[in-house]
Amino acid sequence: MDAQIERVRELLGTAASIAVLTGAGVSAESGIATFRDPDGLWAKFSPRELASMDGFLANPERVRDWYAHRKSIATSVAPNAGHYALAALERAATGSCTLITQNVDRLHQRAGSVNVLEVHGNLIENRCNECGHIREDDLLTCPDCSGAMRPNVVWFGEELPQDVFAAAEQAAMTCDVMIVAGTSAEVYPAAGLPYTAKRYGAVVIEVNPNRTELTNEAHHVLHGTSATILPLIVGEA
């Protein structure tokens, strides 16, 4: 076996606390479009129109339709080997294991991950724009306050959910090992988490087919897709 894979397996096997940060690359192999690649969503759609409060206020129906479409894709595809490997990692962990995801598709949970922090929200739920009430049906107005229901995702110009991101930062500060998989590490503040982990003494492992902003900072760089590499490092393959 590749010596670096073996070393990473040892690290994961002995870590008291593991954090994982995932991004669009992990779901790409399930058929979920990425955002920033040349053929990604933001090459075809306008983030200003579809993923901002201004866009929602200008045309709520267009925004809701687009998210309903993405939700139907997310619920019709299956988790891949990368998702399943991370669920297995959590089950096998003797200490804590926190999965921080920028993905909104819920594929990690469907693969069996339990301790998941969705720092960018999710496509499954809608949230009242006024009072924060959350539900999974398609009601357009909040039953509590009559506010407009909107996708429970973080839009451009919006803050991340405070309690969720605080928990993610805590995991980054306290982990021994952080795996960063399938993310180009460009979208802040989530992209800052691996640097936080490193500053607080964690070993940072990058899993990505491409070089990223993080590549020079990571202690171990495993080039390949997460569906290929993650099963190897958690011993599932």
User: Under the rule (CB under 5 A), what is the footprint of Zn ion?
Assistant: 128, 130-131, 133, 142, 144-145, 147
Closer to Zn ion at the Cβ: 53 or 167? 53
Q: Measured from the CB of residue 233, what is the shortest distance to Zn ion in angstroms?
A: 43
Residue 91 has phi, psi (to 5 degrees) of -65, -35
Nearer CB in complex with Zn ion: 63/197: 63
d(CA 228, CA 189): 27
User: CA 131 to CA 167: how far, in whole Å?
Assistant: 22
Residues, the chain: 237
Is 219 labeled as catalytic in the residue annotation?
A: no
Residue 60 Cβ vs Zn ion, minimum distance, rounded to whole Å? 15
Token pair 């992990």: residue: 26
Q: Which is nearer to Zn ion, 128 or 179 (CB)?
A: 128
Distance CA 135, CA 216 (A): 42
CB-wise, 68 or 131, nearer to Zn ion? 131
- Dist CA 96 CA 55 (whole Å): 40
Smallest distance, Zn ion to C-beta of residue 139, A: 10
**Nearest Cα to Cα of residue 127 among 100, 102, 86, 158:** 158
Quote the CA–CA distance of 190 and 87 in Å, as a whole number.
21
The one catalytic residue among 120, 133, 219, 220: 120
Shortest Å distance, C-beta 49 to Zn ion: 24
What is the DSSP-derived secondary structure letter of residue 39? T
Residues designated as active site: 120
